[in-house]
Amino acid sequence: QLSDRLLAVTKLVTPGNRVADVGCDHAYTSIFLVEQGISPYVIAMDVNQGPIDRARENIIRYGQKAYIDVRKSNGLEKLEPGEADTVLIAGMGGRLTLQILSDYPKVTASIRELVLQPQSEIHLVRRTLQDMGFLIVKENMLKEDGKYYVMMRAVPKVLIEDECPYVLTEDEHYYYGRQLLEQRNSVLVEYLEWEKELSENIVSTLSKETTENADQRKQEIKDKLDLIKKGLGYYR
Ligand code: SAM
* Helix or strand (DSSP H, E) at 89: strand 86-92
Torsion sign across C-alpha atoms 179, 155, 146, 218: negative
Mean pLDDT in residue range 173-201: 97
For the stretch 137-164, what's the b/e string if a residue is b when 16 or more beta carbons lie within 10 angstroms of its beta carbon? bbbbbbeeeeeebbbbbbbbeeeeeeee
Task: Render pLDDT for 103-133 as a digit per residue (tens, 0 to 9).
Answer: 999 999 999 999 999 999 999 999 999 999 9
Which atom number of ligand 1 is nearest to the Cα of residue 90?
A: 4
| Ligand 1 pocket, CB under 6 A | 6, 22-23, 25, 45-48, 51, 74-75, 90-92, 96, 100
Q: How far is the CA of 226 from the centre of ligand 1 (A)?
A: 35
> Positive or negative, the Cα torsion across 154, 37, 93, 201?
positive
User: What mean pLDDT is reported for the chain?
Assistant: 97
Give the mean model confidence (pLDDT) for residues 69-85. 98
Q: Which atom in ligand 1 lies closest to the alpha carbon of residue 100?
A: 23
pLDDT tier at 96, thresholds 50, 70, 90: very high
pLDDT score, position 72? 98
pLDDT of residue 130: 98
CA dihedral 130, 132, 138, 139 (to 10 degrees): -80
Neighbours of 208 (CB within 10 A): 7
Summarised one tens digit per residue, pLDDT across range 134-149 is 999 999 999 999 999 9
pLDDT confidence tier of residue 184, bands split at 50, 70 and 90: very high
Ligand 1 atom with minimal separation from the 88 CA: 1
Rounded to the nearest angstrom, the distance between the alpha carbon of 23 and the centre of ligand 1 is 3
Q: How far apart are CA 42 and CA 20, in angstroms?
A: 6
What would the CATH number be for the domain defined by 4-173? 3.40.50.150
Q: Region 226-235: what's the mean pLDDT?
A: 98
Cβ atoms < 10 Å from Cβ of 166: 19
| Predicted pLDDT at 212 | 86
pLDDT > 70 fraction of the chain, expressed in percent and rounded: 100
55 burial level (CB within 10 Å; 0-12, 13-18, 19+)? buried
pLDDT at 210: 84
Residue 1 has pLDDT above 80, yes or no: no
The predicted model gives 193-199 an average pLDDT of 97
Domain regions of the chain by residue span: 4-173, 187-233
- Between CA 50 and CA 85 the distance in angstroms is 27
Ligand 1: which of 5, 48, 76 to mutate, most ligand atoms within 8 Å of CB?
Answer: 48
Tens of pLDDT, residues 38-70: 999 999 999 999 999 999 999 999 999 999 999
